[in-house]
Structure 1
Amino acid sequence: MMRSMYAGVSGLKAHQTKMDVIGNNISNVNTTGYKGSRVTFQEMLSQTIEGASSPQDGRGGTNPQQIGLGVQVGSVDNNMGSGNPQSTGKMTDLAIDGEGFFIANDGNQNLYTRAGNLTFDKEGYLVNSSTGYRMQGWKANESGEINKMGGANLEDISLDKTMEASASKNANFKGNLDGSVENLLEFTPNKIQVDDGTNVGDMSVDLSKTPNYNEWDFTLTGENSSDDFIAGGSSLGNTLTGTINVDEEGNVTNLVADDGGSTIDLLAGSNDLELDVTGDGNTQTLASFGGSFDINSTPLFDGGAGETVDGDYTLNAQRDLTANVYDSQGTEHTISFTTKKTADNEWTIAPSDVSVSDATLDTTTGLGSAAHQITFDGDGDITGGDEVDITFTPDKGAGTQTVSLDFSQFTQSGGDMDAKFDIADGYSQGSLKSFTIDGSGTITGSFDNGYNKTLAKIGVASFKNPAGLSREGSTMFNISNNSGEAQIGQAGTSGRGMLTPGSLEMSNVDLSRQFTEMITAQRGFQANSKAITTSDQMLQTLVNLKR
């Protein structure tokens, strides 16, 4: 009877422990990231009254006779299952969708938690708002790169409030240079009077574009059938045909008259163009050149009667381009240049068409020193000149810098002339305006200079046996001998769950199960107390035998 009484006592103690665990679970039903516990029982000891015997001499064996001596708590297990996420809308609230733990440092050691209620303290460190422990991860360098992620590289997470200026090194362009665009040349007027000193007559002028780049055919016609054009000493009759070529700037590079299959170079000083009105031997010099000339400023043909034929050249096959870049002090400079079509499938940037705002262009190297050609094949794909350097020295004290201009994304086809600046690296100094956290734990800052930069990454730890972790408070855990070492890395890798910004993980306590367990604990306690009172009554009866 004494055994039954003490067995009942052990049952009372065990069920009291179970009720303690249930009560703690229920009290933490709304604790962020809380993991519930459960109690399991096991038999304490057994007293052997008679051991087992084996069969012998035709008799069967007997089983051992043992009496249990009560119950004890076998284990208090952690339920590490995920709780449901609860949306909060606060960017620094994080939940882990899957396995893993946040890493927090209490100043001496790393602890692990599923509670992602985070905030920044006055020193700028990311901390757990309940404990003040600093969250662990990896900070990015000035370039926004995180080179090593592992347990050995963990550090307190804080955000850089400023972005240092960075000098531009590359500027990229994209778009189309319209290969079908034509420059415009007009002769005005199309008829003038020619006075050869004896006779006066009219000469008409016609101009037509050839298929070749910047080339036109022209025809001069005298009104009298007896008029005679003379070029280079050759009589050509009252109609003269020829060809004129100009470069992209409007300079005449070729001016020839057709002499029945051969050509006469009218730019040569000895090959004047004359007209004998009515063919009486008196002539007026229409053109006399000693080389190339600007067609927009020099009359083409002079009739000698106060009337001239002038050229009016318009450059349409060009594209003005600019690129905004930064020097080492963060000052913005605008690189401006014009690319002009100089031949079929060829566009040229001349040094005279290049400038840099608030800086001195280096004219000894790169784009400032020599013309740069960009060439295309028959399909409009770039074949040469897809990259060129430009060097300049800023006016305000920043060092000389070189920027590589990349034209590799240019095309040449008949269509819109939409070639333009795309993007350049480098930036001015900026101050942090806001930040975001993505599913991998990457914290990206948005700065008032218009740039975004990776600032840090939140670390996540996983364990081979997370249920083996030792509690350090309701939501903090520490490594134990049976949990395994922390496997630290980026969220979403090696079995670690992704992060859910703007959410918190709720407690995983199931109230319905806890209430059911509470009922069984209560009934178990009652039953064990009944065993004690019954044993007491039996002892009382035994004592009363003497009466």
Structure 2
Amino acid sequence: MSISSGLFSGISGLNALGNAMTVIGDNIANVNTVGFKESRVTFQDVLSQTVATTAGSAQVGRGTSLADISSSFSQGSFESTDSSTDLAIGGAGFFMVRDPGTSNNDYYTRAGEFRFDKDGNFVNPSDYIVQGWKLDEATGQDQGTITDITLSSFTSSPSETSSLSMIMNLDSSSTNNSIGANTALSALWNGSDASGEYIADTDYSYQTTLKVYDSLGSTHDVSIYFDKGETAADPVWEYIVTVNPSEDLRTITDATQQGLLARGTIEFNGTSGDISGGVNSITCSLSDGAGGWTALANTDATANGGYFTFAPEFIAGSPMNVKLDFGTRFNGSEWANDALSTTQYASASTTVFQSADGYGAGDLQAISVATDGVITGQYSNGQVLPLYRVALAKFQNEQGLYKVGGNLFSQTRLSGEPITGKPGGNGLGSLSPNSLEQSNVDLATEFVRMITTQRGYQANSKIITTIDQMLSELINLKR
């Protein structure tokens, strides 16, 4: 065995330790890189050479080589941010992103620095599109397979009104206002009045108005007028349901009924002041626009949850079906009052509560992401709608992933196929919005590794210089 073999052992040490220093330098350089995972170098000895000794054969080492450069996927600490689309994974898993320039080219990353671009794509700083499931806006359930998270529309579609609720107290001491002209309150409505006073203030006891939405999101006022029965002791009140005649697009042959939609009665218990609860406690008839009326049966109320309905038509050819809820509904045998219902007490008539469902079109105002990955949009019309769910993936062998730069990994044969799922399930971590995962590089550890690597490199260089001196002495023997 030649003495020069030691030179190659020293060179192997220099090469291995030089690469180790490169890895350390890469770790330190990325100490502030979002989602970066540090790497670690391990060494192995080179196959030894067998030599003869007086005791038999023995082995002499031939230096070292790199055994492996592995990544540590330990959890990095979280940094709070002011962006709701910055996401960090608490636990196992990777975000899935796709290069829009190529097909079927998925990458995986721990860096959750995401935002929406001008086209509505949810992207990382390299404009790779984050992957997830589209959600059903009504149920919030996942739809289909994993796809690009892309907002195709930044508006919320309108929804027409289907139910009106109004809880009132009607003053029991009120007197009948319509009996002087006609016993029916509906007969005092004149939808063709040129002055715009379709019913005189003196013809009714109380009035309340709610806004409703048509299918295009336009708003319309629905006004309901009430008048006491013929005597002060009469516990029955009349009501009529009206809209502005200019907005009533039904086919009308009797001009006086333009805007007059329905009429009916409410019967109260003269002792308790509550709606009486009998089979005829509430009645309702619909105007046919020709001066006639169609009485609704209690079976009609049962078919609509127990409530009577009326049918305004604000868009020609598209009548609506709106439930009228006074705080009681027909349960099949009688009218049953809710915990909060319309009353007739000896106090001023007032509206206690009123609401109407439906809403107009809205513009997207804000985006939020939940821990389960659900991306929710808040719209100017008050709607909060689930849009997408961010998908996560994990691998049986994370060490088999290939680093492609840009905080991205790609799948390899060694890593195996990705196992995808919802955040928080299937062994995957949950998401933290307004957060970014910091690098898991520990500077103190890297400095210690740097010192030991430096000393090892110096020692190996000494081997080379020492063997050089030994060879020089050998050559000098000739002299």
Using the size of structure 1 for normalisation, the TM-score is 0.63
* Aligned with residue 403 of structure 1, among 322, 337, 356: 322
Letter in 2 for 1:334: D
Contact 2:158–2:216 (CA under 8 A) maintained in structure 1: yes
Taking the aligned partners of 2:83 and 2:261, their CA distance within structure 1 comes to 53
Cα 1:372/1:480, change in 2 over 3 Å: farther
Aligned to 1:183: 173
Contact 2:177–2:228 (CA under 8 A) maintained in structure 1: no
Cα 1:99/1:176, change in 2 over 3 Å: farther
Aligned to 1:147: 141
Cα 1:319/1:369, change in 2 over 3 Å: closer
Aligned to 1:169: 162
Letter in 2 for 1:476: L
Cα 1:488/1:354, change in 2 over 3 Å: same
Q: Tell me the CA shift for residue 419 of structure 1.
A: 3.7
Secondary structure of 2:142's aligned partner: coil
Cα 1:373/1:33, change in 2 over 3 Å: same
User: Does the alignment pair 1:326 with 2:213?
Assistant: yes
Taking the aligned partners of 1:182 and 1:126, their CA distance within structure 2 comes to 61
Secondary structure of 2:34's aligned partner: coil
Taking the aligned partners of 1:145 and 1:334, their CA distance within structure 2 comes to 31
Taking the aligned partners of 2:108 and 2:183, their CA distance within structure 1 comes to 83
Letter in 2 for 1:359: D
- For 1:7-86, list aligned pairs within 5 A: 7-49=9-51, 65-86=58-79
> Cα deviation per residue 1:329-361 (whole Å; 9 max; x = unaligned)?
211123332567889xx98775x5111342357
* Aligned with residue 307 of structure 2, among 387, 404, 413: 387
Cα 1:379/1:464, change in 2 over 3 Å: farther
User: Does the alignment pair 1:114 with 2:110?
Assistant: yes
Taking the aligned partners of 1:139 and 1:468, their CA distance within structure 2 comes to 30
User: After the TM superposition, which of the residue ranges 11-20 and 413-422 deviates more from structure 2?
Assistant: 413-422
Secondary structure of 1:411's aligned partner: coil
- For 1:310-325, list aligned pairs within 5 A: 320-325=207-212
Secondary structure of 1:524's aligned partner: helix
Secondary structure of 1:69's aligned partner: coil
Secondary structure of 1:12's aligned partner: helix
Q: Tell me the CA shift for residue 128 of structure 1.
A: 0.9
Contact 2:310–2:323 (CA under 8 A) maintained in structure 1: yes
Secondary structure of 2:107's aligned partner: strand
Q: Tell me the CA shift for residue 145 of structure 1.
A: 5.1
Q: % of aligned pairs identical?
A: 34
User: Does the alignment pair 1:355 with 2:351?
Assistant: no
Q: Tell me the CA shift for residue 18 of structure 1.
A: 0.6
Contact 1:41–1:72 (CA under 8 A) maintained in structure 2: yes
* Aligned with residue 135 of structure 1, among 130, 146, 163: 130
Secondary structure of 2:450's aligned partner: helix
Taking the aligned partners of 1:421 and 1:104, their CA distance within structure 2 comes to 48
Contact 1:359–1:393 (CA under 8 A) maintained in structure 2: yes
Q: Tell me the CA shift for residue 92 of structure 1.
A: 3.0
Structure 1 stretches lacking a partner, 5+ long: 52-61, 186-247, 253-291, 295-313
Taking the aligned partners of 2:56 and 2:346, their CA distance within structure 1 comes to 101
Q: Tell me the CA shift for residue 460 of structure 1.
A: 2.6
Cα 1:401/1:9, change in 2 over 3 Å: same
Structure 2 stretches lacking a partner, 5+ long: 185-201, 283-305, 329-337
Taking the aligned partners of 2:50 and 2:268, their CA distance within structure 1 comes to 102
Q: Tell me the CA shift for residue 80 of structure 1.
A: 1.3
Taking the aligned partners of 2:80 and 2:413, their CA distance within structure 1 comes to 35
Contact 2:243–2:261 (CA under 8 A) maintained in structure 1: no
Contact 1:98–1:497 (CA under 8 A) maintained in structure 2: yes
* Aligned with residue 473 of structure 1, among 405, 408, 427: 405
Contact 1:348–1:371 (CA under 8 A) maintained in structure 2: no
> Cα deviation per residue 1:73-94 (whole Å; 9 max; x = unaligned)?
1111111122222223133322
Q: Number of aligned pairs?
A: 403
Using the size of structure 2 for normalisation, the TM-score is 0.70
Secondary structure of 1:80's aligned partner: coil
Taking the aligned partners of 1:540 and 1:372, their CA distance within structure 2 comes to 121
> Cα deviation per residue 1:189-241 (whole Å; 9 max; x = unaligned)?
xxxxxxxxxxxxxxxxxxxxxxxxxxxxxxxxxxxxxxxxxxxxxxxxxxxxx
Contact 2:364–2:378 (CA under 8 A) maintained in structure 1: yes
User: After the TM superposition, which of the residue ranges 62-71 and 31-40 deviates more from structure 2?
Assistant: 62-71
Aligned to 2:7: 5
* Aligned with residue 160 of structure 1, among 141, 153, 158: 153
